[in-house]
Chains A and B, each alone.
Chain A
Amino acid sequence: MNPINDLLKILSDFVAGIVSGIFAFSPFLADLVTMGLAAVILCTFAALSFMGLTYVERKVVARIQDRLGPNQAGPFGLLQPIADGIKMFTKEDTTPANADRWVYNLAPLVIAIFALTTYAVLPFAPGVVGTNLNVGVFYLIAIGSGSIVAILMAGWGSNNKYALLGAFRTVAQLVGYEVPMLLNVLPVVMMAGSMSLVDIINKQTTLDGNPGIPFIVFFPLSALVFLISGIAETGRSPFDLLEAESEIVAGFHVEYSGMKFALFFLGEYVNALAVAFVFSTFFLGGYAGPILPPYVWLLLKAALIFFIFMWLRGTLPRIRIDQMHNLNWKFFVPVSIVHLVVVMALMKLFVTDPAQAEAFGGILVAPIVQAVILFVASMTVLLVSLAIAARRARVLRLQEEAILEQRRAENLAAARA
Chain B
Amino acid sequence: MRTDFAFVGVMLVTAALLMGVALIAAALLRPKKPNKAKLSTYECGMETVGDTWVQFRVQYYVLALVFVVFDIEAILLFPIAVAFNSLTFFAVANVILFIVVLLIALLYAWRKGALDWE
Contacts and interface: CB of A to CB of B under 8 A. Distances in A.
Interface string A332-371: 0110011011001101100101001001111000000000
Given A160-B42, A182-B74, A337-B103, A168 B88 contact: no
Contacts of A117: 8, 11-12, 15
A326 interface: yes
A222 to B, nearest CB: 12
Contacts of A186: 74, 77-78, 81
A71 B54 CA distance: 43
A186 B83 CA distance: 12
Contacts of B82: 189, 193-195
A165 B54 contact: yes
A333 B99 CA distance: 12
B32 A89 contact: no
A293 interface: no
Contacts of A40: 14, 18
Contact of A333 (B70, B83, B86): B70
A334 B106 contact: yes
Most A-side CB within 10 Å, residue of B1, B39, B71, B89: B1
Contact of B40 (A39, A43, A96, A161): A96
B58 to A, nearest CB: 12
A329 B15 contact: no
Interface stretch (A127-135, A376-384, A406-414): A127-135
B112 interface: no
Interface residues of B, number: 74
Contacts of B26: 88-90, 93, 258-259
A348 B92 contact: yes
B15 A39 contact: yes
Interface string A156-199: 00111110110010011001101100110010011001111010
A131 B2 contact: yes
Nearest to B3: A132
Contact of B15 (A112, A196, A258): A112
A338 B13 CA distance: 41
Contacts of A176: 63, 67
A329 B66 contact: yes
Contacts of B56: 168
A42 interface: yes
A330 interface: yes
A183 B70 contact: yes
B16 A109 contact: yes
A365 B43 CA distance: 64
B10 A249 contact: no
Contacts, number: 232
Contacts of B7: 35, 38-39, 120, 130-131
Give the contact-size bracket for chain A.
35 or more
B99 A337 contact: yes
Interface in A60-112: 88-98, 108-109, 112
Given A132-B2, A198-B1, A43 B67 contact: no
A259 B22 contact: yes
B30 to A, nearest CB: 5
Interface in A268-319: none
B85 A356 contact: yes
Contacts of B33: 92
Most B-side CB within 10 Å, residue of A333, A334, A345, A356: A333
A322 interface: yes
Interface in B61-118: 63-64, 66-67, 70-71, 74, 77-78, 81-89, 92, 95-96, 99-100, 102-103, 106-107, 110, 115-118
Nearest to A338: B103
Contacts of B84: 189-190, 193, 344, 347
Most A-side CB within 10 Å, residue of B7, B27, B38, B115: B7
A263 B13 CA distance: 16
B90 to A, nearest CB: 10
A96 B70 contact: no
Given A89-B25, A263-B23, A113 B12 contact: yes
Nearest to B64: A175
Given A131-B4, A341-B100, A360 B117 contact: no
Given A130-B2, A360-B89, 7 more contacts: A93-B26, A159-B52, A160-B41, A164-B54, A176-B63, A325-B117, A344-B84
12 contacts: A90-B29, A92-B32, A94-B34, A96-B41, A109-B23, A119-B11, A121-B8, A168-B56, A175-B67, A183-B74, A341-B99, A344-B92
Interface of B: 1-8, 10-16, 18-20, 22-23, 25-27, 29-34, 36, 38-44, 48, 52, 54, 56, 60, 63-64, 66-67, 70-71, 74, 77-78, 81-89, 92, 95-96, 99-100, 102-103, 106-107, 110, 115-118
> 4 closest pairs, A vs B, by CB?
A259-B26, A39-B14, A131-B7, A97-B39
